[in-house]
Amino acid sequence: MLIVADENIPLLNAFFGDIGEIRRVSGRTMSAIDVRDADVLLVRSVTRVNRELLEDSSVRFVGTTTIGTDHIDLGWLEENGIRFSAAPGCNANSVVEYVLSVLSLYAERKVLNDWSQLTVGIVGAGNVGSELAEKLDRLGFSVKLCDPPRAERERNLTFVSLDEVLACDVVTLHTPLTRDSAHPTLQMIGRRELDLLTSKQLLINTGRGEVIDGAALSERLSQADAPLVALDVWEQEPRINPELVGKTWLATPHIAGYSLEGKVQGTEMIYQAVSRFLGLPARKKAGQFLPEPALSKVSFTSAADEQAAIRIALRACYDPRQDDARLRHIMGVPASQERGVAFDRLRKDYPVRRECSSLKVQLKGTSKSLHDSFRAIGFKLKI
Ligand SMILES: NC(=O)c1ccc[n+]([C@@H]2O[C@H](COP(=O)([O-])OP(=O)(O)OC[C@H]3O[C@@H](n4cnc5c(N)ncnc54)[C@H](O)[C@@H]3O)[C@@H](O)[C@H]2O)c1
Ligand SMILES: O=C(O)[C@H](O)[C@H](O)COP(=O)(O)O
């Protein structure tokens, strides 16, 4: 059994070492020659999986350790009897924590006494969008959801239109990239939608870069009343547009889902799918491979300001400004191809980032509302 895998998938040996021989290759440059004699192919989002890659191969199963599947020609795999599995939801919580951290920075920038004064509009209420909505709701935010496919399927009247969501203080995009669906998302946020936003609003995109029309966004961001934007995903990764980076408030190299928990869960989900495909038992669990976190405990006393305590704990786990600084730094590389290599390197050498559930928050004499807020975010409490 030969398993060809993107070298950036963590714990390949631990999960797949006793299933077959593993050949590690660069996901970005993976070619038909690399996969010709493989039985199983494991990829991340940077490999285009299509006829060109697989036509002359012996691959019978393809797994992607990601949520997104826009890099896979699902129709061609089905027509050719190749089994496929993605890892839905694997890094959803990581993306949610990214957005919460961005919100905490935005509230601070706006000098708000209470971050939950912000209204938040979520486009795409799947695993990420609905987990975010649930946490924000528990934290006291007012949330609006736009998801036409779900609204139609579920005949649910609580979903609102895209324009209604675009009137919220913060608009955050969590849709897949689709071209041929009933509600395609390719360039869903174009000139018209960007014109509806004002300098009093923040637009966050952690879905896929192509969901926003990049040229229209760049033009809009040159205008005086432009919204702030926080972008994690970009058109034409890894060769992203440095001019657009320069116009953003926060810019990160497609790492919203890069918590260690998220990545390892992605590997575990595909390990389970491969095991099912091969009729093997699947006893290994992501949790058994997670190391002790570098920071394990923070304490707050009755003197703590509630909003500050939440900010401190959230950013102790994840502060997007560090990723922003790293991305801006490589935008100084003059040649586009080398900048692309540097973008991929930022992602390959990403520092270990742990989720809030890895941090124990000790609270002494603090209010019940602070306990509830910490719980809502996902911290472990010690009272
Ligand atoms: N930046 C990152 O690191 C990162 C990490 C994980 C996922 N993602 C991206 O986020 C996307 C969403 O993740 P998820 O786990 O929530 O996926 P999901 O499939 O669970 O949910 C997507 C939701 O979007 C909705 N949707 C589809 N078309 C829409 C449209 N035109 N308007 C509004 N809603 C629409 C769907 O009905 C669905 O409910 C993924 O497809 C992936 O591209 C990015
Ligand atoms: O779709 C996803 O799961 C995310 O976009 C994922 O974090 C992408 O990471 P990559 O596969 O590019 O390393």
| d(C-alpha 257, C-alpha 242), whole Å | 22
Helices (H), the chain: 12-16, 32-35, 51-54, 74-79, 92-109, 127-138, 148-154, 162-165, 191-196, 214-220, 242-247, 260-278, 306-317, 320-330, 336-348, 368-377
Q: Are residues 136 and 185 in the same domain?
A: yes
**Atom number in ligand 2 closest to CA 255:** 7
- Interval between CA 84 and ligand 2 midpoint (Å): 17
Q: Do 42 and 186 belong together in one domain?
A: no
Regarding pTM above 0.95, the answer is yes
Q: Which ligand is located closest to the Cα atom of residue 234?
A: 1
Q: ipTM above 0.95?
A: yes
- Are both 229 and 146 inside the same structural domain? yes
* Domain interval for residue 163: 92-251
Total domains present in the chain: 3
CATH number at residue 40: 3.40.50.720
Q: Which residues contact 347 (CB under 8 A, 6 or more apart)?
A: 8, 253, 254, 255, 258
Please indicate whether residue 254 is annotated as part of the active site.
Answer: yes
Q: In the annotation, is 183 catalytic?
A: no
Whether residue 155 is found in the same domain as residue 18: no
Do 135 and 82 fall into the same domain? no
State whether 35 and 133 are in the same domain: no
Whether the CB-CB separation of 85 and 278 falls below 8 Å is answered with no
Please give the Cα distance from 44 to 348 (Å, whole number). Answer: 12
189 alpha carbon – ligand 1 mean position (Å): 14
Beta strands 360-363 and 380-382 are parallel
Same domain for 54 and 132, yes or no, is no
What three-state secondary structure class fits 309? helix
Say what the pLDDT of residue 254 is.
98
- The token duo for 18 is 């006793």
Pair 161, 204 in one domain: yes
What is the rounded CA–CA span in Å between residue 299 and residue 171?
Answer: 33
195 is in an annotated binding site: no
Q: Tens digit of pLDDT per residue, the chain (383 long)?
A: 999 999 999 999 999 999 999 999 999 999 999 999 999 999 999 999 999 999 999 999 999 999 999 999 999 999 999 999 999 999 999 999 999 999 999 999 999 999 999 999 999 999 999 999 999 999 999 999 999 999 999 988 899 999 999 999 999 999 999 999 999 999 999 999 999 999 999 999 999 999 999 999 999 999 999 999 999 999 999 999 999 999 999 999 999 999 999 999 999 999 999 999 999 999 999 999 999 999 999 999 999 999 999 999 999 999 999 999 999 999 999 999 999 999 999 999 999 999 999 999 999 999 999 999 999 999 999 88
Q: Give the residue from 226, 251, 276 where a domain finishes.
A: 251
Q: What is the CATH number of the domain that holds 331?
A: 3.30.1370.170
270 and 190, same structural domain?
no
Domain boundary among 223, 251, 279: 251
At 76 the pLDDT is 98
Bridge partner list, 230: 204, 250
Residues 130 and 81 in one domain: no
Residues 274 and 371 occupy one common structural domain: no
| Whether residue 170 is found in the same domain as residue 198 | yes
